[in-house]
Amino acid sequence: MAATSSTSFTTIHTHKPSASAFALNSAFGAPSSLAISTCTTNHYHRRRKLVVSATAADNHNNISTSVSSSSITLSKKVRRHTISVFVGDESGMINRIAGVFARRGYNIESLAVGLNKDKALFTIVVSGTEKVLQQVVEQLQKLVNVLKVEDLSSEPQVERELMLIKVNADPNYRAEIKWLVEIFRAKIVDISEHSVTIEVTGDPGKMVAVQRNLKKFGIREIARTGKIALRREKMGEFAPFWRFSAASYPDLGEIRPDDAPLGSKCRVVRGEDDTSVGGDVYPVEPSDDFKVAQVLDAHWGVLNEDDTTGLRSHTLSMLVNDAPGVLNIVTGVFARRGYNIQSLAVGHSETEGISRITTVVPGTDESISKLVQQLYKLVELHEVQDLTHLPFAERELMLIKIAVNAAARRDVLDIASIFRARAVDVSDHTVTLELTGDLDKMVALQRLLEPYGICEVARTGRIALVRESGVDSKHLRGYAFPI
């Protein structure tokens, strides 16, 4: 009995409200049961508030953490960058630029360089993060004779690539191959009994599509230039080449600068804040006959065929492993022996993991033969072929931006149609043309467009494949054929 009473008392005491609770409920006239529930409810709400506050704080921390992590992820995101490097031409320049990427472990996916007499414009495609690529750009700017370095990845740009692809041409499938050529607006540059060589220009996505559709026929060889790019010109007087165009065509600008030249002669007016100062712009003093803003001559690589010393341009085609630092190793062989590379194009070949380097080097047959022997000693190199004395199909790609006004635009487009060039970008003061062909064709178009004023030029350099037909007009000169 005592135990039972004690137990009952303990139970009642445990659930009995405190005196302060009775006093509070008595003051408000509430029963004791309500006081207990109210006290418990208030305690529950206080706990809930604490829980909610802690949860909100956790959510806030999670959101801030996710934002910071996403920003870090964006800064560390690896993507493809297109870098334009404008340099003065000198021996070993390509090796020095390739060395900057090689020392940092970057694999150059494609490189295209074309010379304009004494200056060159490199277009390099490489994958990396924003931060590290910015450091590479700063290192490139420290090189001697580097005039300007730009990362065009975030800019609206005209990008083009040139490819020569040789495929098997069975008579049963030749009609389908020609149909695909028309669809992709390509051209057949050589045809034989068992193969067809096709020239294709376009963006890198188009190159991939062409390869996929022609793969079923069997691809023999591929030579690619790598991508070249020019910034799409903006509209109005804030565009980079507006002042250049206004100097050539005063009707483009409403207010002519005070120091602008008057009369028949014209010079390019540049300010300190003009973004085109380091561009591929070569104004020279014109003749007294008409107003021009000319570009320097671009007939590099044209050597005298009757030279008694035997010096001539040699076209070398090399297959190398697609690995970081290979280009630096190959160009180092040329630099150490004092060879000046006139043209260089690097792109993927027909085999995965193998790249093709096409280069033009001046020299005699004997000196180039020794150079080829030195190249064969490289571990990363698979094959070297001198195409100079073989019939081969050669092509180059050029993007050229010309200053125009409303009256001159029609004349420029007429000249472009004669050379089968295409307009790929138009603004109120410029026209950008795309042209493919051999070296002589490039030089001829540039000379005709010089009086209008050339703003920028980007060239790929030469790519070449052996003609399976064995017919080349250059090798037929000087021969007489019976009628």
For position 309, what pLDDT does the model report?
60
Residue 349: how many other CB atoms lie within 10 Å: 21
Confidence of residue 81 (pLDDT cuts 50, 70, 90): confident
What gap in Å lies between CA 354 and CA 316, rounded to an integer? Answer: 16
State the average pLDDT over residues 37-41: 41
Per the document, the length of the chain is 483
pLDDT: which is higher, 343 or 378: 378
Structure tokens at 100: 């900057």
Hey, which residues does 168 pair with through a beta bridge? 195
Structure tokens at 320: 């190398």
Domains and CATH numbers, the chain: 79-156 (3.30.70.260), 311-390 (3.30.70.260)
For position 410, what pLDDT does the model report?
93
Of 70-74, 126-130, 418-422, the least confident: 70-74
Rounded (5°) CA angle 324-91-456: 85
What gap in Å lies between CA 107 and CA 191, rounded to an integer? Answer: 35
Greatest Cα-to-Cα distance within the chain, rounded to the nearest angstrom: 141
Residue 403: how many other CB atoms lie within 10 Å: 27
For position 209, what pLDDT does the model report?
94
What gap in Å lies between CA 423 and CA 247, rounded to an integer? Answer: 23
For position 271, what pLDDT does the model report?
37
Judged against a pLDDT cut of 80, whether residue 277 lies above it is answered with no
Confidence of residue 58 (pLDDT cuts 50, 70, 90): low
Confidence of residue 183 (pLDDT cuts 50, 70, 90): very high
Judged against a pLDDT cut of 50, whether residue 160 lies above it is answered with yes
For position 61, what pLDDT does the model report?
52
State the average pLDDT over residues 175-186: 94
Residues 6+ apart with CB under 8 A from 277: 270
If you compute the radius of gyration of the chain from its CA atoms, what whole number of angstroms results? 35
State the average pLDDT over residues 124-149: 85
pLDDT: which is higher, 226 or 18: 226
Judged against a pLDDT cut of 70, whether residue 475 lies above it is answered with no
What gap in Å lies between CA 433 and CA 445, rounded to an integer? Answer: 10
Judged against a pLDDT cut of 70, whether residue 171 lies above it is answered with yes
What gap in Å lies between CA 16 and CA 13, rounded to an integer? Answer: 5
191 φ, ψ (degrees, to nearest 5): -140, 135
pLDDT: which is higher, 46 or 219: 219
What gap in Å lies between CA 372 and CA 289, rounded to an integer? Answer: 50
Place of tokens 């000693």: 377
Judged against a pLDDT cut of 90, whether residue 130 lies above it is answered with no
Is the CA virtual torsion 65, 66, 72, 76 positive or negative? positive
For position 200, what pLDDT does the model report?
95
Judged against a pLDDT cut of 60, whether residue 291 lies above it is answered with no
Is the CA virtual torsion 169, 175, 178, 183 positive or negative? negative
Judged against a pLDDT cut of 70, whether residue 170 lies above it is answered with yes
For position 27, what pLDDT does the model report?
39
The mean pLDDT value of the chain amounts to: 75
pLDDT: which is higher, 398 or 18: 398
Instruction: State pLDDT tens for residues 313-339.
Output: 899 999 999 888 898 899 899 988 888
Confidence of residue 250 (pLDDT cuts 50, 70, 90): confident
State the average pLDDT over residues 218-230: 91
Judged against a pLDDT cut of 50, whether residue 5 lies above it is answered with no
Judged against a pLDDT cut of 90, whether residue 176 lies above it is answered with yes
For position 117, what pLDDT does the model report?
57
State the average pLDDT over residues 361-378: 91
Judged against a pLDDT cut of 90, whether residue 83 lies above it is answered with no
H/E/C letters for each residue in the chain? CHHHHHHHHHHHHHHCCCHHHHHHHHHHCCCHHHHHHHHHHHHHHHHHHHHHHHHHHHHHHHHHHHHHHHHHHHHCCCEEEEEEEEEECCCCHHHHHHHHHHHCCCCEEEEEEEEECCEEEEEEEEEECHHHHHHHHHHHHCCCCEEEEEECCCCCEEEEEEEEEEEECCCCCHHHHHHHHHHCCCEEEEECCCEEEEEEEECHHHHHHHHHHHHHHCEEEEEECCCEEEECCCCCCCCCCHHHHHHHCHHHCCCCCCCCCCCCCCCCCCCCCCCCCCCCCCCCCCCCCCCCCCCCCCCCCCCCCCCCCCCEEEEEEEEEECCCCHHHHHHHHHHHCCCCCCEEEEEECCCCCEEEEEEEEEECHHHHHHHHHHHCCCCCEEEEEECCCCCEEEEEEEEEEEECCHHHHHHHHHHHHHCCCEEEEECCCEEEEEEEECHHHHHHHHHHHHHHCEEEEEECCCEEEECCCCCCHHHHCCCCCCC
Of 45-49, 88-92, 113-117, 293-297, the least confident: 293-297
pLDDT: which is higher, 433 or 291: 433
21 φ, ψ (degrees, to nearest 5): -70, -40
Hey, which residues does 80 pair with through a beta bridge? 127
State the average pLDDT over residues 63-74: 47
Instruction: State pLDDT tens for residues 382-406.
Output: 999 999 888 899 999 999 999 999 8
pLDDT: which is higher, 171 or 7: 171
Confidence of residue 115 (pLDDT cuts 50, 70, 90): low
Is the CA virtual torsion 81, 84, 89, 90 positive or negative? negative
Structure tokens at 470: 């064995």
Judged against a pLDDT cut of 50, whether residue 30 lies above it is answered with no
Q: How far is CA 286 from the centre of its chain?
A: 34
For position 244, what pLDDT does the model report?
86
pLDDT: which is higher, 157 or 72: 157
Confidence of residue 477 (pLDDT cuts 50, 70, 90): very low
pLDDT: which is higher, 425 or 50: 425
